[in-house]
Amino acid sequence: MQKAFFRNFVAATVSLIMLARSEKGFYIMRSSWPDLFLRGLFGTAGVICNFYAIDRLGLADSNMLNKLSPFFAIVMSVFLLREKANTVEWASVVISFTGALFIIKPSFNISSLHGFIGLFGAVGAGIAYTYVRKLGKNGERGPVIVMFFSTFSCIATLPFLIAGYKPMSPRQLLILLLAGACATGGQLSITKAYTKAPAKEISVFDYSQILFASLLGLFFLGEVPDRYSLIGYVIIIGIAIFKWRYTLKHS
């Protein structure tokens, strides 16, 4: 909860400054409030589950599970946005989930539980991104979406932060603030992307994060994925690239 708070505190601060300097200021469309709340709720749940998984799984494994969110965004866009998914897109969801099972390696022990919590984080993120897409289609501004989500997450995690606060060294505080700064850049960029294009067209670009996570985990944390995780990576990234190329060819 402490990590989640600081991760979103920086984003909330930056987005508030952006809105203060914009022409429309802090104006929020009245029709956006319900969707903003649901985006904040599911997005916060996704962030918390993702941080939980990062602490207990390998960095590459937890990131790969989180990268299933675009596939869940496709599923939810069918119900929330009435965007039709064809047979190939449904098949990609099933195949990607199969890849996730190689990473989770279900055996009903504590490690599997950590994996499924990471998977639930992807579900939350996928639903949240669907609401981002809906808000963007309805004309809501990107900084408003980021500000509301980040502020919502800070408010939701603050009681847990106060109750279970762990003192930090200056170095740890600096690392958390830098993590928040990096997350803010990513959040603003991906929010802009999802407000401008369907999830099925842009999702593959987010998978480059796995390469960075794997290399950073290897060089800085000494984490080497096992063969089953590697199989899962190949399946998920492979189907993501195939679906992306298929979409571009048939659009």
Q: Give Cα 168 distance to the centre of its chain.
A: 26
CB atoms within 10 A of CB 194: 26
Which residue has 């309805």 as its token pair? 138
Enumerate the domain spans of the chain.
2-245
Percent of residues, the chain, with pLDDT higher than 90 = 24
pLDDT bracket for residue 157 (50, 70, 90):
very high
CA angle 153, 1, 133 (to 5 degrees): 30
- What pLDDT is recorded for position 144? 92
pLDDT tens-place string over residues 28-42? 999 999 999 999 999
Residues in the chain: 251
pTM: 0.76
Question: Tokens for 216?
Answer: 């950073």
- What pLDDT is recorded for position 106? 66
pLDDT tens-place string over residues 164-206? 888 999 999 898 888 888 888 887 787 788 777 776 666 667 6
Question: Tokens for 177?
Answer: 């603030």
More confident residue, 243 or 134: 134
Residues 233 and 217: their CA atoms lie apart, in Å, by 15
